[in-house]
Amino acid sequence: MSPKPKAPLVCDTTLRDGSHPMRHTYTAEQVEAVVRALDRAGVEMIEVAHGDGLGGSSLQYGMSAVDELDLIARAAETAERARIAVLLIPGIGTRVTLKAAAERGARAVRIATHCTEADVSEQHFAAAKALGMEAIGFLMMSHMLEPAALAEQAGLMAGFGADAIYIVDSAGALVPAGARERVAALRDVTGDVGFHAHNNLGLAIGNTVAAIEAGAARVDGCLRGLGAGAGNAATELLAATLDRMGYDTPLDTFALSDAAEHVVLPFMPFQPFPDRESLAIGYAGVYSTFLLHAKRHGERLGLDPRDILVELGNRKAVAGQEDWIVDVAEDLARAAAATGAPSA
Q: What span, in angstroms and rounded, lies between the C-alpha atoms of 31 and 261?
A: 16
- Which position among 20, 124, 293, 297 bears the catalytic label? 20
The reply, when asked if residue 24 is annotated as ligand binding, is no
Q: What span, in angstroms and rounded, lies between the C-alpha atoms of 51 and 53?
A: 5
Q: Which residues contact 152 (CB under 8 A, 6 or more apart)?
A: none
Q: What span, in angstroms and rounded, lies between the C-alpha atoms of 119 and 113?
A: 9
Closest by CA to 34, choosing from 57, 11, 16, 14, is: 14
Give me Rg for the CA atoms of the chain: 19
59 in Cβ contact with 92 (< 8 Å): no
The reply, when asked if residue 121 is annotated as ligand binding, is no
The reply, when asked if residue 288 is annotated as ligand binding, is no
Q: What span, in angstroms and rounded, lies between the C-alpha atoms of 92 and 98?
A: 11
DSSP, collapsed to helix, strand or coil, labels residue 56 as coil
Q: What span, in angstroms and rounded, lies between the C-alpha atoms of 50 and 57?
A: 7
The reply, when asked if residue 61 is annotated as ligand binding, is no
The reply, when asked if residue 275 is annotated as ligand binding, is no
20 carries an active-site annotation: yes
Closest by CA to 44, choosing from 6, 17, 73, 18, is: 6
Binding residues are 16-17, 170, 196, 198, 287
**Residue set of the binding site for Mn(2+):** 17, 196, 198
Binding residues for substrate: 16-17, 170, 196, 287
Residues recognised as catalytic: 20
